[in-house]
Amino acid sequence: MPRYRITIEYDGTPFFGWQIQPDRPTVQGQIIKAIAAFSGETVAVRGAGRTDTGVHAQGQVAHFDLSRTWQPFRIRDALNYHLKPAPIVVLDASEVPPDFDARYSATGRHYLYRILPRHSPPGLERNRVWWVTCELDANAMADAAKLLIGRHDFTTFRATSCQALSPVKTLDRLDVARQGAEIRIEVAARSFLHHQVRSFVGSLKMVGEGRWRPDDLQKALDARDRTTCGALAPSQGLYLVGVDYDDVKNTV
């Protein structure tokens, strides 16, 4: 039974996240329906990351098995045809070994968070950035972000509903930079806790506003207490940019 890997781009605005839910539109659910439409098979689809309601992706990865062999470009094109008009696009497809797992074979995940600090609301980028009306000090945010890089107990930045066995994770990258009118936060690690990136962003915004100093962020990290975290950043500014595997880096 051949296994296929697909890389997916989607606008998460109309969906209740990645994971399939009864009677609610989800990205995983739409892909399962599209596979059934061209292949006649209802299959399990496993994604590299379970993005929340409203979160977007530029490089989500998923895998599934089919009972017959298909040329990968036909899978890509058939899925894109049957996914219309949903804002989901399959960027590429490939056949992979049967032991490949989109989630468990991943060696790294990359996220981007976009903040738009200005008085006027976004027009073209509505539901794709976090609009804040106050000015933010990107340099102060970048300096504070360095405190979070490395291996730490990230209990403070973990959702209370998180099902991870341990709050200890190694953060490889947390860069903050101004790009035009936006502040962009790029994050990378092998794996993340539930709401970890949005919790980072909400706390770094406190630094950017001048309400927190870098040592306040350090104290929050050391407290290992969710109540010391800054407010959770909204989902619409978050993107799963790509997923790394030993054979290739699927980052955009």
pLDDT of res. 248: 54
Write out pLDDT tens, residues 76-110.
Answer: 999 999 999 999 999 999 999 999 999 999 999 99
- Name the catalytic one among 11, 23, 52, 65: 52
* pLDDT over 50 (residue 22): yes
Region 231-248: mean pLDDT is 92
CATH code given to domain 108-244:
3.30.70.660
Domain made up of 3-105: CATH architecture: 2-Layer Sandwich (3.30)
E-state strands within the chain: 3-10, 46-47, 56-65, 88-96, 108-117, 130-132, 150-153, 168-179, 182-189, 238-244, 249-250
Asked if 3-105 and 108-244 have one fold, the answer is yes
Domain boundary assignment for the chain: 3-105, 108-244
Average pLDDT of every residue of the chain = 95
Residue pair 145/175 in contact (Cβ under 8 Å)? The answer is yes
Sequence letter at residue 45: V
Q: Is 175 designated active site?
A: no
Write out pLDDT tens, residues 42-78.
Answer: 999 999 999 999 999 999 999 999 999 999 999 999 9
